[in-house]
Amino acid sequence: MAGLKIFSGNANRPLAEDVCRCIGVPLGKALVGRFKNGETRVRIEEHVRGADVFVIQPTSSPSDHHVMELLIMSDALRRASADRITAVIPYYGYAKQEKKSAGREPITAKLVANLITTAGVDRVVALDLHAPAIQGFFDIPVDNLTAIPFLADLLVKEGIEDVVAVSPDVGGVARANDFRYRINAELAVIAKRRPKPDEAEALEMVGQVDGKCAVIVDDMISTGGTLEVAANLLHERGARAVYAYAVHPVFAGNAFELIERSFLDRVVVTNTVTVPPETRDNKIQVVNIGWLIAEAIQRIHEGRSISAMFETRRFQQELLI
């Protein structure tokens, strides 16, 4: 595949290596480190003039540092005459700050989009953006991929009966609805409130889970608070088992402890964010989505459709009827 080059920052090199393995290209050589004063140091160590370059870098914790690596790598590639630079951001950090929920607050998701564009990025590939509207924060093409069909397929393969897909908050209904059509299940929705940032309270639920296997579907697990309160409510309402299928394993604060002591029987996440092996336990399963990102990169490089990757979406067919 002439002209295609893939580089990685330090946020998730194993994922970038897997993407390269799937495509059959070596990971581009680049020094991405720090100067003694703590500033980020980058040097691209191979020619990129005229190349179609992809930089894989989730802007996960420490987000500020990973954003800076992405910006500085993009700047270096642009100055080295790369033909096109695509930022592949499997997890887009700062996404929860996508609107002002009170006066005198920033819209950081937009600020980061501005920074990425200014650094010279020509297009962005993201995965399950917390709010799809973030695509509009960029004035360059953004492909917002989704791992939801893949997660749904994994559940279907297990052949579990009487499943109810649960959205843990009103904002996640479209995602959970997509998931439930794919697995042919009922839908339940929890009304959640955030008394303070990073705190969650489940107020009420619409839907029946008594005797069912309740599967919480979410874009990310951050503090784990949303899952904890949702699992408590589902247990209280008689669910026979409680699972969670979420895309981004942010696992902030004491998320692992919350999950461990919760009513959750199983948590399935992808590897958009690195989960240290020692923190995985019997409850947490990490599934690899490197192949999905590899497929998107190949299609973009060859000028082929990305939406065709997801065209068999059952819920779209339902909507058309």
Applying CB under 6 A, which residues contact ligand R5P?
Answer: 96, 168-169, 171-172, 198, 200, 218-226
Q: CB of residue 251 vs ligand R5P: minimum separation in angstroms? A: 9
160 CB-side CA count, 13 A: 21
Residue spans of alpha helices (H) in 270-311: 290-302
Examine the residue annotation and report whether 5 is marked as an active-site residue of this protein. Answer: no
Q: CB of residue 83 vs ligand R5P: minimum separation in angstroms? A: 36
**Main-chain phi, psi angles of 272, to 5 degrees:** -60, -30
C-alpha distances out from residue 162 to 179, 186, 287, 312, Å: 14, 9, 24, 24
Q: CB of residue 232 vs ligand R5P: minimum separation in angstroms? A: 13
Report the distance separating Cα 170 and Cα 187, nearest Å.
Answer: 12
8 A C-beta contact, residue 3 and residue 52: yes
Six-digit token string for 81:
């005459």
Nearer to ligand R5P, 96 or 299 (CB): 96
Residue type, 294: A
Nearer to ligand R5P, 233 or 297 (CB): 233
Report the distance separating Cα 307 and Cα 310, nearest Å.
Answer: 6
Helix (H, G, I), strand (E, B) or coil at 156: helix
Nearer to ligand R5P, 82 or 269 (CB): 269
Catalytic residue among 5, 29, 110, 192: 192
Q: CB of residue 105 vs ligand R5P: minimum separation in angstroms? A: 16
Nearer to ligand R5P, 171 or 211 (CB): 171
Nearer to ligand R5P, 231 or 294 (CB): 231
Nearer to ligand R5P, 23 or 227 (CB): 227
Residue in the block written with tokens 């100055």: 79
8 A C-beta contact, residue 6 and residue 297: yes
Six-digit token string for 84:
């096109």
Helix (H, G, I), strand (E, B) or coil at 241: strand
Which DSSP state fits 29? P
Distance of CA 278 to the CA centre of its chain: 21
Q: CB of residue 153 vs ligand R5P: minimum separation in angstroms? A: 21
Q: CB of residue 13 vs ligand R5P: minimum separation in angstroms? A: 25
| Catalytic residue IDs | 192
